[in-house]
Amino acid sequence: MSRQRKRSSAQISSRRRRGLNIWLLRHLQVALASLGRLTRAPLSTLMTSAVISIALALPTGLHLLLNNVQELSGNWEGAASISLFIKQEVTEKSVEQMAEKLRVDPAIADIRLITRKQALDEFRQLSGFSGALDALNQNPLPAVLVIEPEATHATPEAAEVLLGRLKTMQKVDFAQLDLQWVRRFHAITEIARRGIIMLASLLVLAVLLIVGNTIRLEIQSRHAEIEITKLIGGTDAFIRRPFLYNGLWYGLFGGIIAWLMVTLSIGLLDNPVTQLAKLYNSGFNLTGVDFTTLLGLLGGSTLLGLFGSWIAVARHLSDIEPS
C-alpha cells in the first residue's frame, strides 16, 4: 500500500514538473516570437523605445545629480565641524592625549588641534590688535579641537547627538556646532528629492500612456487575427500573452537606452567636472550608474512596460468579438 502511494506521489510530481516545463516553454516561445515581431519593424520599435527612454533618463539623471551633490557636500572643508574649546588649566600634552583618544571614535572622521599659541598667533594676524595683545601677561585664548564627523554623522540630527556627547567631557569648557548651513543644505536637497519624485511620478504615467497607446494600435492592426483566434477557441489569456510580452520588451529596451543615455552624459561631464575640482584642490569625481540603480532602472522600466500593456489589453481586447 505504501509503495502504491509513493508511486502515485511520484507520478503526480512528475506530471507537475512536465506541466511546469511546458508552461515555461510556451512563455519562452511567445516571448521570442514577440521579440522577433518587434525586430521586423526596427524603426517603429526604436522610436517607441527612445521615447520611453527619454522619460526614464530624466529622473534617473536628476537622481544621480542629487547623489553627486550630496557626496560633494561631504568633501567641503569644515562640513558640520564641531569646535571643542578646552579649559584654560588643561595642559597641551593632555589636550594631545585627548585628541588621540577621540581619533578612534567611529563617529569622527578627522581632528585638528589648534594650540593656545596657534590661536593667539592667528588672532593677532587677523584682528590687527597685536599691540594690545603684547601688553597681556598671559594668553587668554584656549586650545581648540576642530572635529569633523563621519559622513553618517554629518546630518543635523546626528551631529547634534555627537555634540551632546562631546561637550560632556571633563576637559571641555565649551562646544560649538554651526548647523545653520547644514540645515539649509539638507532642506534644499530634500526639496530637490521630492521634486524628483514628483517628476518621476508624472513621467511614469507618461510611460504607461506611451506603452498603452502603442499596444492599442497593435491590437487594432491585428483585429482580424484576434477575431479568427477567438473563433477557433483561443482564450483571452492566449491572445493577451504576446501583447504583454511586447510591452515587456518595449520597457526593457527603453530602460537600456535610458541607461546608455545617462552613462554617456556622465562620461561627457566627468572630465570638465574633474578639472574644475582640481582647481579647488579637490579629488571629486562624478559617480555614474551603480549596479543597484541599474537594476532598479531596468526592472522598473520592464514592469512599467508590462503594466502599460496589461491596461491596454484589458481595455481593448474585450471589445473585439467575432461576428
Q: DSSP secondary structure string, 86-146?
A: EPTTS-HHHHHHHHHHHHT-TTEEEEEEE-HHHHHHHHHHHHS-HHHHHT-SS--PPPEEE
Domain-terminating residue out of 178, 209, 235: 178
Domain-terminating residue out of 178, 205, 234: 178
| Judgement on whether residues 152 and 292 belong to the same structural domain of the protein | no
Question: Is position 89 within any domain?
Answer: yes
| Judgement on whether residues 48 and 167 belong to the same structural domain of the protein | no
Cell matching residue 290: 551603480
Q: Which residue, among 47, 56, 169, has the nearest Cα to 108 in the 3D structure?
A: 169
Number of domains in the chain: 2
Question: Is position 295 within any domain?
Answer: yes
| Judgement on whether residues 224 and 253 belong to the same structural domain of the protein | yes
| Judgement on whether residues 128 and 221 belong to the same structural domain of the protein | no
Which domain range does residue 201 map to?
31-73+192-319
Q: Is 84 helix (H, G, I), strand (E, B) or coil?
A: strand
Question: Is position 2 within any domain?
Answer: no
| Judgement on whether residues 50 and 86 belong to the same structural domain of the protein | no
Question: Is position 58 within any domain?
Answer: yes
| Judgement on whether residues 292 and 218 belong to the same structural domain of the protein | yes
| Judgement on whether residues 154 and 235 belong to the same structural domain of the protein | no
| Judgement on whether residues 226 and 171 belong to the same structural domain of the protein | no
Digitized pLDDT (tens) for each residue of the chain, 323 residues in all: 556 666 666 666 667 777 777 778 887 888 888 888 888 988 989 999 999 999 999 999 998 988 888 777 655 544 567 888 888 888 888 888 888 888 888 888 888 888 877 776 776 666 555 555 555 666 767 888 888 888 777 777 788 888 888 888 888 888 887 666 767 777 888 898 899 999 999 999 999 999 999 988 888 888 888 888 778 877 777 888 899 999 999 999 999 999 999 999 998 988 888 888 777 666 777 888 889 999 999 999 999 999 999 998 888 777 776 66
| Judgement on whether residues 145 and 222 belong to the same structural domain of the protein | no
Question: Is position 309 within any domain?
Answer: yes
Question: Is position 154 within any domain?
Answer: yes
User: What does pTM read for this prediction?
Assistant: 0.68
| Judgement on whether residues 39 and 66 belong to the same structural domain of the protein | yes
| Judgement on whether residues 169 and 200 belong to the same structural domain of the protein | no
Q: Is 73 helix (H, G, I), strand (E, B) or coil?
A: helix
Question: Is position 171 within any domain?
Answer: yes
| Judgement on whether residues 95 and 134 belong to the same structural domain of the protein | yes
Domain-terminating residue out of 131, 150, 178: 178
* Sign of the alpha-carbon dihedral angle for 269, 274, 275, 276: positive
